[in-house]
Amino acid sequence: MRAVVQRVAEARVLVESEVVGEIGRGLLVLLGAQQEDTERDLHTMLDKILHLRIFDDEAGKLNLGLLDVDGELLVISQFTLLGDCRKGRRPSFVEAMRPESAERLLDEFVRQARQRVRRVETGRFGAMMRVQLENSGPVTLIIDSRKSQ
């Protein structure tokens, strides 16, 4: 799995001008699944995201994770994170998981996140979405579950 994680003051996702997910202070996660991803990749990614020490402590140092600050989570499916731009001008998405399998894996990611995070919101899988956010910091990280194991 591959993710872009942004620390946000607030974020929302709209589908056809309707807000389908919205959070306050927390993390916006753009999440894509690769062909060979398994439940292990899901657990690696979720654990890494929930425990990233990217929130300020009392001294202003990045020492706290999402769970420490009782933050919220907005998860948006994003297969384009798997785009390979090394050849030509059109990205290749052959490494992206097939939509049916990716949707099941991302749904499981969200289900497990909801067991640990007070508020978890999502976009709508496969829909054209508009994502609005107020990045805090800014803090933006790229995580790959294959590089975290």
**pLDDT average, residue stretch 106-116:** 98
Average model confidence (pLDDT) for the chain?
A: 95
The matching CATH number, chosen from 3.30.460.10, 3.30.465.10, 3.30.300.130, 3.50.80.10, for 2-147 is: 3.50.80.10
Give the predicted TM-score (pTM) of the model: 0.94
Cα separation, 41 vs 109, in Å, equals: 10
pLDDT confidence tier of residue 87, bands split at 50, 70 and 90: very high
Q: Domain-by-domain residue ranges, the chain?
A: 2-147
Residues carrying an active site annotation: 78-80
Nearest CA among 84, 128, 118, 122 for reference residue 103: 122
pLDDT at 44 over 80: yes
